Structure 1
Amino acid sequence: MKTVLLFLMFLLSSSSCKKAEAEDMSISAMKLPSKEKASANDNYAALDAPQKTEDKNIEQKIIKTGNLRFETNDLEATYSQIQSAVKSHNAIIQNDTEGKNYESVFKNITVRVPSKNFDLFLKDISKGVAYFDNKEISSQDVTEEYIDIDARLKAKKVLEVRYLELLKKANKVTEMLEIEKQLSAIREEIEAKEGQLRYMQSQISMSTITIEFYKTVANEGGATISYGSKIWNAIKSGFNGISSFFIGLLTIWPFLIILATGFYFIRKRFKKKTK
């Protein structure tokens, strides 16, 4: 009988020890992951994400841009043609400026057009253009960069969830403060990466085209008027120069009187010596 009682007491003591060890393990689980470990987990998650998407059909992320410059015989007609193309292809005019220099009058327009309509829009605004002074079309593949940022963003969000779970289990104020500090840094990184993705997606979905078209001044008035204007400007400049000369003389009239008086006396004395 004693042997049975001793055996039961041994079983109870061993079970209580195992329970205590389990509690210690649950408490130790509350320790925050080190920054190095969290950063490593973040990097591993970011590296694993692209590998998971290799088997899927990945949509390419292309940023298209265009830069055109050409001469036209009618600024308003060309401008109306561009406006019609903007409406037809659901584009928007982001910037519209005009100006005039010595040789020409010009318009400079920046258009955002849906990437799927990029080629058709270029075709419509190029109608009637004999040749382009400048035509630059570029396509930048940012698929890898986009996937990398997206993967890192997902890893940061997973890490945020882990810290939120730890915050619920934290009992000490110091632990809470440390977790809140880490959460604040993680949320800042999440917002930054989300901003990067939004900007990239905007550039991907809406292409940017800069269009500059101009008309030379000589076409409006002819070469004769241009040379006549130059001659008239030269005459006016000469007249202004003479006027400035006389005005300058008036400002130094006292010195001129002194010089004239001195010259008079010197000449008079010279005449006396010759007699």
Structure 2
Amino acid sequence: MKKYILIVCLAFTLTSCKKDASFSKEEVSVVEMQSPEPQPVNNHDVSQNSEQKIIKNGKLRFETADFEKTADKIYTAVKKYKAQIQSDNEGKDYNSITRNIVIRVSNENFENILNDISSGISYFDQKEISSEDVTEQFIDLEARLKAKKELENRYLDLLKKANKISEILEIEKELVAIREEIESKQGQLNYLQNRVSMSTLEITFYKHTTETGVTVSYGSKMWNSIKGGVSWIPGFFLGLLYIWPLLLIASLVFYYLRKRKKNLKN
């Protein structure tokens, strides 16, 4: 009788161990099934309950009579509205000089700095002002990021309960994937927030130059080409010195073939 009782107890113990061994996969499945999904964003709710997220961009292109005065005017406006110069490039072609300045300015000061820079300009070759409402995209990213963080916390709770290497490895593998998604969503959200908080204004202005400067510039280019050709000659002969064995072999082969051809004729 004691033997039968012992066998029953042993069978019960083995069954309990098997149940414990399946802890990780079952718990992981439950967590995945119960992971929160972001609800679709309602446009009406967005307009009622959320601050609008607007990305503003502008492009200006115009001719100026005073190149330096225009640049000073732009830099004065940048300082006045605490904007930032993202880039400032100047170039020259055959009959004009061009300067391109890209400004980042806070959304609330976008119209102000635009008006200051545009004042006194009678004609624009290009004037484009655009705004993009990204409120829905912003809220959707926030919701997805929140859901991923909640899922991460659930896996962390599972990790505390795990007592086997296999369970720990499986949960940590899931955590790595979730954290990668969190970092990706956070990066997208930060980029969107940066574009919303700071508007971009690209300004291009140019001035026509006289033909005299072009002639002098072209003559200088010709002279530089001549000097470059002269300086190339010593380098050519130095290069020949590096390949003298090949030249010697080629000369011997040519001499042999020529002599053989001559003998065949005779």
TM range (shorter): 0.5 to 0.7
Q: Aligned residue for 2:112?
A: 120
Output the amino acid matched with 2:207.
K
Q: Aligned residue for 1:54?
A: 45
Output the amino acid matched with 1:54.
D
Q: Secondary structure of the equivalent of 1:102?
A: coil
Structural mapping, 1:215-226, within 5 Å: 215-218=207-210
State whether residues 28 and 171 of structure 2, in contact with CA within 8 Å, keep that contact through their aligned partners in structure 1.
no
Q: Aligned residue for 1:79?
A: 71
- Structure 1, residues 205-235: CA drift from partner, whole Å, max 9, x if none? 00111110001114xxxx7x589x59x97xx
Question: Deviation at 1:32?
Answer: 2.8
Q: Secondary structure of the equivalent of 1:65?
A: strand
- 1:97 matches 2:81: no
- Structure 1, residues 238-260: CA drift from partner, whole Å, max 9, x if none? xx9xxxxxxxxxxxxxxxxxxxx
Q: Aligned residue for 2:259?
A: none
Q: 1:204 to 1:41 in 2, by over 3 A?
A: farther
* Structure 1: segments with no counterpart, 5+ residues: 1-22, 241-275
- TM-score of the pair, normalised by structure 2: 0.68
User: C-alpha separation between the residues in 1 aligned to 2:139 and 2:34?
Assistant: 18
Q: Aligned residue for 2:142?
A: 150
For the aligned residue pairs, the C-alpha RMSD in angstroms reads: 3.1
Question: Deviation at 1:97?
Answer: 0.5
Q: Aligned residue for 1:69?
A: 61
Determine which of 19, 29, 34 is the counterpart of 1:34.
29
- TM-score of the pair, normalised by structure 1: 0.66
Output the amino acid matched with 2:45.
E
Question: Deviation at 1:155?
Answer: 0.1
- 1:171 matches 2:166: no
Q: 1:184 to 1:226 in 2, by over 3 A?
A: closer
User: C-alpha separation between the residues in 2 aligned to 1:84 and 1:66?
Assistant: 18
Determine which of 125, 133, 136 is the counterpart of 1:133.
125
User: C-alpha separation between the residues in 2 aligned to 1:226 and 1:108?
Assistant: 22
Question: Deviation at 1:102?
Answer: 1.1
Larger radius of gyration: 1
Aligned residues: 201
* Structure 2: segments with no counterpart, 5+ residues: 1-15, 227-266
Output the amino acid matched with 2:104.
R
User: C-alpha separation between the residues in 2 aligned to 1:107 and 1:180?
Assistant: 54
User: C-alpha separation between the residues in 2 aligned to 1:209 and 1:110?
Assistant: 6
Question: Deviation at 1:34?
Answer: 2.9
Output the amino acid matched with 2:96.
S
User: C-alpha separation between the residues in 1 aligned to 2:58 and 2:174?
Assistant: 43
Q: 1:32 to 1:74 in 2, by over 3 A?
A: same
Q: Secondary structure of the equivalent of 1:194?
A: helix
